[in-house]
Chain A
Amino acid sequence: MTTNPIVGITGLNKWYGDFHVLRDINIDVAKGERIVICGPSGSGKSTFIRCINALEEFQEGRIVVDGIELGPQLRRVDEVRREVGMVFQSFNLFPHLSVLENCTLAPIWVRNIPKKDAEAAAMKYLERVKIPHQANKYPAQLSGGQQQRVAIARALTMNPKVMLFDEPTSALDPEMVKEVLDTMVDLAHEGMTMLVVTHEMGFAREVADRVVFMDAGQIIETNTPANFFANPQHTRTKLFLSQILR
């Protein structure tokens, strides 16, 4: 399965000052694979996926995304970011731009696509996340769930090969979690490579190929969802699962 990984990470180490926040992370992600990363807060899972598109710098190791190598010097960061889309916990939509402008900004200014074409493409993605009718509203006029779906559409407009989700549903009201998860499930079924940091175990069961459990900056256990939930190996994993599954 890992013969030709789209994301390859070897020996990733990161320190915040003296604090060793990521410790020897090694993982390969195959094209089209859906990986759910879970773990207690402070375990480094957000920091880990933020390293993949160079929002965090790291001191040791090597990340290869679709053949583009990202070392500690972050030399090819622009190329990597063009291949990787990201969805944040707090949406981070641009509040001064309309929904449509949020989705056309990068295609117009990074890929130099003419405005008309960019808008047509953006509408396609907004339809895919089921909110084309909100295109001319501003983010503040939308609900949290709608904002997060716009954020997903915005990331998709750049045609990324990999999508990163950093706790996409944690800031949402319970009523809105489902609409965002549905969008992500659709995306997964279309074959997108996804790395998802989340505590939505239902989502992990439904779409994940692998579940990665992290604690104290390291990968503790990796397994298929079925085995992960039914038959956890490490004591730390068992403790974590007993606390979140009631």
Chain B
Amino acid sequence: MSDLSISSFVRQELIPERPAPVKVTGFVGFLRARLFNSPTNILLTILGLLLLWVTIVPAVKFLLVDAVWSGTDRTACLAQNAGHPVGACWPFVQAKLGQFIYGFYPQAERWRVNLTFALAAILLLPLLIPRLPAKGLNAGLFFIAFPIVAFFLLRGGGLSGFGVNWVAHLLSGFADSIGDLGRKLARLGETTAVIGPLLQLLGNLAALLGTAASVLIWPLIWLEKQIQASSYPVWADFAATAMIVSVALFVLNGSIRTGWRALIVSLATFAGIGIVIAVMGLDRGGLPIVDSGLWGGLLVTLVVSVTGIVTSVPIGIALALGRRSTIPLIRFFSVGFIEVWRGVPLITVLFFATYMLPLFLPGNFKVDGLVRALIGIALFSGAYISEVVRGGLLAIPRGQSEAASAIGLSWWKTTALIVMPQALRHVIPGLVNSFIGLFKDTSLVSIVALFDLLGQIHASFADPVWATPTTLFTGFAFAGMIYFTFCFGMSRYSLFVENRLNAHRG
């Protein structure tokens, strides 16, 4: 204890608050405090201004001042005709805009693409605005109903059957392949020396199993035959499926006591499906088929990126949880999956999906080229997303899941209600980072003969009608603006979501 602390002090009046001196606030205060507060900062400010001058002035000059705004072919964008050095050649973009957006989608059918875009916007916007109600219904429509409708809108074609037909085909195919496998094994057993009898036994067992399965599903096959023989097979099948599923849901949810809600939801869903089938004429062959080889431009970019983003999140979450599972098989599978897909370049994945996969698949099993690319991209980005999600899971203290267990929540409920919501909030920046990366990576599909926006723009450079010195720069500037608009939009929206969801951090 020194002498200083001995003298006692008691405050008589508390000091009132007073405003800060003027010079640290306001515009002048900002200039002084942030831009010109030291020699180094003065230098940096000047350098920064110079940099802006050097980049922005030429850009504005190229895109706006020297740009040519109207014309019908390349002559308008030549310096000798324009009378000044020519910047961007916007008539080129104008003339090619249809291609940039739709690719080679037939002119007469482009309304279908527009309608799909409109539907997507109508369903997505209310989903993004937190104040609007009925988020569950909205999400269901966007994530489940919309993709199906979009498929039939964009590609066209109709249905030849419904639930009963699909299930019957799937099951009978399954039973047949088991039986076939068994017979093959048995035949192999006859000609093999040592393990022959064993193979024969196994084969006969499998063949028996196949036969038993086909006997078991016989009522279903019979029902399917009756339905297909009727005058309106799709509608008959639809009615049968609706009835079977609704009754099953009703019974599973507690019949007369508590099953009414499930029944109503099921019937309403089927009514919605029925309306879609009727409106789109899916029972009468639907819209004319536009092969995905004709799709292109922004349409392909959006289809690939939206599908990739929407499907990679559930894949990523499942893999992240799998990687932390206590069950070794699941853990090893998840780790293996993640490492393989992350260890391979996306180009390789796309090449493999497009050119090599068909070699492995059985001959009668054909998958559309775009769908193959979509699956490849979804699995690829799923692996990346899973590591982002795992980062979020690591940030959740153990006490959270312990507390959830202590009040009786099961592992699934703990994960869905406590752990995952918090983990995903932590990793919004990382997730959006991945989404933006994915959005731009979609341009790689052009190497597997799919023409996305960038590929389409690139292809249009070859048109001699628009061959000018600045066509190339104009096209890329346009592509840059489109990509930037989408990515910047995602980035801003994610900041908004972050601020909203982190309100609880006080």
Does the CB pair A158–B407 fall under 8 Å? Answer: yes
For B422, the chain A residues whose CB sits under 8 A away are 94-96
A159 CB → nearest B CB, Å: 11
Interface size classification for chain B: 20 to 34
Does the CB pair A96–B504 fall under 8 Å? Answer: yes
- Asked if B405 lies at the interface with its beta carbon under 8 angstroms from chain A, I say yes
Contact digits for B390-406, partner A, Cβ 8 Å, 1 yes 0 no: 00000001011011111
- Asked if A106 lies at the interface with its beta carbon under 8 angstroms from chain B, I say yes
- Bound CA–CA A139/B505 (angstroms): 8
- Asked if B410 lies at the interface with its beta carbon under 8 angstroms from chain A, I say yes
Does the CB pair B503–A109 fall under 8 Å? Answer: no
- Asked if A245 lies at the interface with its beta carbon under 8 angstroms from chain B, I say no
Does the CB pair A81–B407 fall under 8 Å? Answer: yes
Interface size classification for chain A: 20 to 34
Q: Tell me what chain B mostly uses at the interface: helix, strand, loop, or mixed.
A: helix
- In B392-442, the 8 Å CB interface with A consists of 397, 399-400, 402-410, 413, 417-418, 421-422, 425
- Bound CA–CA A109/B413 (angstroms): 8
For B501, the chain A residues whose CB sits under 8 A away are 96
Binds B, one of A35-43, A60-68, A85-93, A205-213: A85-93
Does the CB pair B506–A106 fall under 8 Å? Answer: no
- Bound CA–CA A140/B503 (angstroms): 10
- In A144-193, the 8 Å CB interface with B consists of 151, 154-155, 157-158
B406 CB → nearest A CB, Å: 4
- In A58-102, the 8 Å CB interface with B consists of 78, 81-82, 84-86, 88, 90, 92-98
Does the CB pair A96–B425 fall under 8 Å? Answer: yes
- Asked if A138 lies at the interface with its beta carbon under 8 angstroms from chain B, I say yes
- Bound CA–CA A138/B421 (angstroms): 15
- Bound CA–CA A134/B332 (angstroms): 46
- Asked if A105 lies at the interface with its beta carbon under 8 angstroms from chain B, I say yes
Does the CB pair B505–A140 fall under 8 Å? Answer: yes
Does the CB pair B408–A96 fall under 8 Å? Answer: no
Nearest residue, chain B, Cβ from A84: B406
Does the CB pair B408–A110 fall under 8 Å? Answer: yes
For A97, the chain B residues whose CB sits under 8 A away are 504
Query: Which of B404, B406, B504, B505 makes the CB contact (< 8 A) with A53?
Result: B406
A149 CB → nearest B CB, Å: 15
- A→B interface (CB under 8 Å): 53, 55, 78, 81-82, 84-86, 88, 90, 92-98, 105-106, 109-110, 138-141, 151, 154-155, 157-158
Can you list 19 A-B pairs with a CB-CB distance of less than 8 A?
A78-B408, A81-B407, A81-B408, A82-B408, A86-B403, A88-B402, A90-B397, A92-B400, A92-B402, A94-B404, A94-B418, A98-B504, A109-B413, A138-B504, A139-B504, A155-B406, A155-B407, A157-B407, A158-B408
Interface contacts beyond A86-B403, A155-B407: sample of 20 additional A-B pairs, CB < 8 Å, sorted by A:
A53-B406, A84-B406, A85-B407, A94-B422, A95-B504, A96-B425, A96-B501, A97-B504, A105-B409, A106-B407, A109-B409, A110-B409, A138-B503, A138-B504, A140-B504, A140-B506, A141-B506, A154-B407, A158-B407, A158-B408
